[in-house]
């Protein structure tokens, strides 16, 4: 179990960050599809022009749909990174600023701007407005939580508070916070139960010059140039 005294100092778990990243990407894909479909099927819209850019709501839907699609594909194309979280936060913040501008110019809710969406999906305008506001709130909160979690992880890794070891069962590399030393966890690679401990440097002799080499356990299996004879060797445990 994790020491409760250290819980408040721990960064957001990677699993939570991955969930926020994938759910934000999925939500943006759904928003892009809904806006595209409603702009294609809605013939007339209650408000023909938006109050900020003075362009038709249909054209605005096309623009926002394209932006959401691009950000969604970028978000889902790889593992969570600070850049992906920044792009989601940028899009969500700009949409929120636009919505605030609409309210400033006399709008009461997003429902009034979603007439074609309501017609296309048979959803009341008030419900459509609540759905849009909820999605936007989730994107804003989720992206900024991701940024905070990734920043804390990066800070911990660069401050020396993160320990790297190799799984004794499969050799996979594992990184963990130093305060979790002594815990037993399933290896994320092979699921074997291992104890988190401080890494001990391993020693071997170069195959070519027989000089001694010392290296950290997490570098096991890596190819390097021997520091003595400069020939290429693979780091492995002494037989």
Per-residue pLDDT tens digits for 6-35: 444 444 567 888 899 999 999 999 888 887
Name the pTM for this structure.
Answer: 0.58
pLDDT of residue 112: 53
Per-residue pLDDT tens digits for 148-194: 988 887 776 665 567 777 777 777 778 787 778 888 889 888 888 88
| Torsion sign across C-alpha atoms 139, 140, 145, 151 | positive
Alpha-helical runs (H) found in the chain: 4-7, 14-41, 57-76, 82-104, 115-121, 125-158
Q: Is there a contact between 84 and 1 (Cβ–Cβ < 8 Å)?
A: no
- Mean of pLDDT values over 88-108: 83
Residue 43 CA neighbour count, 13 Å, CB half: 0
Which is more confident, 55 or 225? 225
Per DSSP, the three-state class of 215 is strand
How far, in Å, CA of 131 to CA of 188, rounded? 37
How do beta strands 184-186 and 193-195 pair?
antiparallel
List, in order, residues 6 or more apart from 239 with CB less than 8 Å away: none
Choice among 44-48, 52-56, 99-103, 144-148 with the minimum mean pLDDT: 44-48
């Amino acid at each position: 179990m994790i020491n409760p005294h250290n819980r408040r100092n721990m960064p957001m778990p990677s699993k939570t960050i991955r969930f926020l990243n994938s759910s934000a990407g999925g939500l943006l894909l759904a928003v892009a599809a809904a806006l595209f479909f409603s702009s294609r099927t809605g013939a007339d819209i209650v408000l023909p022009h938006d109050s900020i850019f003075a362009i038709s709501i249909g054209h605005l839907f096309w623009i926002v749909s394209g932006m959401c699609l691009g950000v969604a594909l970028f978000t889902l194309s790889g593992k969570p990174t600070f850049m992906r979280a920044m792009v989601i936060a940028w899009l969500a913040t700009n949409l929120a600023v636009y919505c605030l501008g609409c309210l400033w110019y006399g709008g009461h809710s997003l429902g009034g701007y979603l007439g074609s969406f309501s017609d296309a999906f048979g959803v009341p305008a008030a419900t459509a407005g609540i759905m849009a506001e909820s999605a936007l709130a989730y994107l804003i909160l989720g992206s900024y939580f991701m940024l905070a979690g990734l920043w804390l992880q990066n800070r911990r890794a660069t401050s020396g508070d993160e320990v790297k070891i190799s799984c004794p069962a499969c050799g996979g590399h594992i990184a963990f916070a130093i305060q979790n030393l002594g815990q037993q966890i399933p290896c994320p690679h092979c699921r074997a139960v291992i104890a988190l401990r401080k890494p001990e440097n391993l020693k071997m002799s170069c195959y070519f010059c027989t000089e001694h080499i010392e290296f950290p356990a997490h570098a096991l299996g890596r190819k390097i140039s021997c520091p003595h004879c400069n020939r290429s060797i693979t780091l492995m445990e002494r037989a």
